[in-house]
Chains A and B, each alone.
Chain A
Amino acid sequence: MDESGSAFDAVEQGPGVSDSPAGTPRGGDGDPAGHPSVTALQGRFGATVLHHEVQAGDQHVVFVDAANNRTVLEWLRDDPEQRYDLLVDVTAVDYGGGNPIQIVYQLWSVGRKRALRVKCELPIDGLSIDSVVPLWKTADWLEREVYDLFGVDFRDHPDLRRILMPQNYAEGHPLRKDFPLRGRFSRAEQTRRALSQDYHDDYTADALEVGGAPGLAPPEPAGSTDEPEDTP
């Protein structure tokens, strides 16, 4: 085989970061006076607000200490001067190369017509952060998605399961930079796993309790015929 590599190497290896500087890229300090919430945040929380920058011309980004994310976000939601009542998006960014993973909260205030982006950085070996589901129910599925695709653990999340990938997916977290596009397992192993899927994995624990384990004997001896058909 040719040792020089082919165009498909990236598919096997995972995407490289193009010309990336060492460490997570950060913009220069922005002028906090441009956004009233930023000055208010810095005044209220001081050192918890690590960094502020302006991106894409007019988008204000605030880096917050990950240990206090819920406190800061709760204040942003409830303070009468802020009122960020709509949590637009929760997502994560992996820059690769062992850099911290960023959790990105995109906020919008319907009343004040103002947007703010809040970021928390998590070290790659400590991917755990407080869930914001108690503040916004939106975060339920969005945080599940980040857990599924990045492997970030959200503390106190009511139902932290995989959401897009199968429940028994064993190859890791696909949107991490070290994850190859074709997956970690060989095609043969992937096929074998697909064929030997256990459909019990497709039911939540309390659903199994209600329906009885599908395909197995019913839980009660009353001759129940209620258990659902097996639909693999």
Chain B
Amino acid sequence: MTERVVEVPEPGLRSEPMLINLGPQHPATHGVLRLLCELDGETVLKVTPDIGFLHTSFEKLGEYRTWNQIIPLTDRMDYLAPLIYNCVYVMAVEKLMGLEVTERCKVVRVLLMEMDRIFSHLLWLGTTAIDVGAFTPFLYAFQERERIYQLHEAYTGARITTSATRIGGMMADFPEGWTDSLRNFVETFPKTLDEIESLLTTNGIHLGRTLDIGVISGEDALNHGFTGPNLRASGVDYDIRKDNPYYDYETYDFDVPIGENGDCYDRYLVRMEEMRQSLRILEQALERLPDGPINVSDPRVSLPSKTDCMNDMESMIHHFKLITEGIRVPAGDCYFAVEGSKGELGMYVVSDGGEKPVRWRIRPPSFVNLSVIAKLAEGHLVSDLIMINASLDIVLGEIDR
């Protein structure tokens, strides 16, 4: 048999940059995000994020609402960690009013915020794993998330739109048996976390997809405004819970995981460890949860009891004015930030002494984190762009506000 030779003509390949729209409707963008990519083959030359598809003008709406009516707007921004947003808003207003909440309320809010940190990190974990082709961790993560959903529902009556806080306290105390359910979660969750970690942390495919992808140095990360796990993965030790503590975080015993390389893998490791540290905080908070009232008894914010309203005129008028006019916040401005699940989550509230804010501003961690994607993705492959986007842990509801 003679060998057949086929002459293959040299292909007349043209090479020129290509423009591709990733999103706005694409599952890998984790929301309604449009990435305008200039590509050379599969290599990303330039990414221009286009946001605003979910713009709801929460900040403008807030100027038409009384101080307490803003709370439902806050959880609709980050539907992945609604309770953190509920808490930080009222904490900012309380600071402006010079209002000290009760000891029980402080511990309750710490519990809720740490629970929602895990809640948010689990969604990040599941969806990021899917983005690199691992489907199983997604199922594990969402099974655990469902348990936190149920805790949300048992306490607030809603799974996502919790609106659980009020200025000066909470909408209600925990229902009976709620802390036991949470304790049960805290005890059993580490086992699932170990299982998920055994699937990803040393998995060759996962390592190949995340090691040395989207690297940013600590100095650059600070200059670009990274905060939260993204900043700490680059080796900068900045956690508001440690550096500017609120609600007695300095008395809780927990570590802040710090990465070294600032790549996708370090961002993964930092978040995994943060969930374990949040569990430690939850354990201690459950241990120290004091008895006592959950709401302050300050006439500026708290309603008189129903009995008082029925029996004396002043209480009746007081109740009427608080309900119809809303509470009044002294003139001034206040910036208050907590360590949110995605970074520094701040609220900047400006009052002129009235019952509505002059300005209510959210310092959005995802918004600032996403702005770095153009720098991170340059020179990587399109598939790495997906991984980089996932590793930033963004939520579009808060980016677009």
Q: Which residues of A contact B (CB under 8 A)?
A: 10-11, 15, 17-21, 25, 27, 55-57, 59, 61, 85-89, 91, 93-96, 104, 106, 110, 113, 115, 117, 136-138, 140-142, 145, 149, 162-166, 174-175, 179, 181, 202-204, 207, 210-211, 222, 224, 226-229, 231
**Chain B nearest Cβ from A216, distance in angstroms:** 13
Which residues of chain B are within 8 angstroms of A140 by Cβ–Cβ distance? 371
Given A17-B354, A19-B354, A226-B18; 9 other pairs, CB 8 A cutoff: A11-B64, A55-B96, A56-B98, A86-B225, A93-B350, A96-B358, A115-B244, A138-B223, A228-B21
B337 close to chain A: CB less than 8 A: yes
Which residues of chain A are within 8 angstroms of B243 by Cβ–Cβ distance? 110, 113
Q: CB distance B60 to A226 under 8 Å? A: no
Which residues of chain A are within 8 angstroms of B59 by Cβ–Cβ distance? 149, 175
B382 close to chain A: CB less than 8 A: no
How distant is the Cα of A142 from the Cα of B367 in the complex, in angstroms? 9
B57 close to chain A: CB less than 8 A: yes
How distant is the Cα of A136 from the Cα of B355 in the complex, in angstroms? 36
How distant is the Cα of A166 from the Cα of B51 in the complex, in angstroms? 9
Answer whether A15 and B63 are a contact pair too, CB < 8 Å, given A113-B243, A231-B21.
Answer: yes
Q: CB distance A104 to B348 under 8 Å? A: yes
**Chain A nearest Cβ from B34, distance in angstroms:** 8
Q: CB distance A210 to B352 under 8 Å? A: no
How distant is the Cα of A58 from the Cα of B40 in the complex, in angstroms? 53
Which residues of chain B are within 8 angstroms of A210 by Cβ–Cβ distance? 17-19, 38
Q: CB distance B238 to A164 under 8 Å? A: no
- Number of residues from B at the complex interface, CB < 8 A: 60
**Selected contact of B363 from candidates A17, A88, A226, CB within 8 Å:** A88
- List CB contacts (< 8 Å) of B350-386 with chain A: 350, 352-356, 358-359, 361, 363, 367-368, 371-372, 375
Q: CB distance B38 to A207 under 8 Å? A: yes
Q: CB distance A106 to B225 under 8 Å? A: no
**Selected contact of A110 from candidates B36, B61, B236, CB within 8 Å:** B236
B3 close to chain A: CB less than 8 A: no
Answer whether A204 and B36 are a contact pair too, CB < 8 Å, given A59-B334, A110-B238, A211-B19.
Answer: yes
**Chain A nearest Cβ from B391, distance in angstroms:** 19
Residue of A with least CB distance to B353: A19
Q: CB distance A25 to B352 under 8 Å? A: yes
How distant is the Cα of A66 from the Cα of B3 in the complex, in angstroms? 81
Q: CB distance B38 to A20 under 8 Å? A: no
Q: CB distance B57 to A89 under 8 Å? A: no
Which residues of chain A are within 8 angstroms of B354 by Cβ–Cβ distance? 17-20
Answer whether A87 and B359 are a contact pair too, CB < 8 Å, given A56-B96, A202-B50.
Answer: no
Q: CB distance A89 to B348 under 8 Å? A: yes
How distant is the Cα of A87 from the Cα of B371 in the complex, in angstroms? 14
- List CB contacts (< 8 Å) of B222-241 with chain A: 222-225, 227, 236-238
How distant is the Cα of A113 from the Cα of B240 in the complex, in angstroms? 9
Residue of A with least CB distance to B37: A207
B82 close to chain A: CB less than 8 A: no
Q: CB distance A88 to B346 under 8 Å? A: yes
Answer whether A91 and B95 are a contact pair too, CB < 8 Å, given A204-B48, A207-B48.
Answer: no
Interchain residue pairs A-B with the least CB separation, the first 9: A18-B354, A211-B19, A138-B225, A56-B334, A141-B371, A164-B52, A15-B63, A89-B363, A137-B224
**Selected contact of B352 from candidates A19, A207, A211, CB within 8 Å:** A19
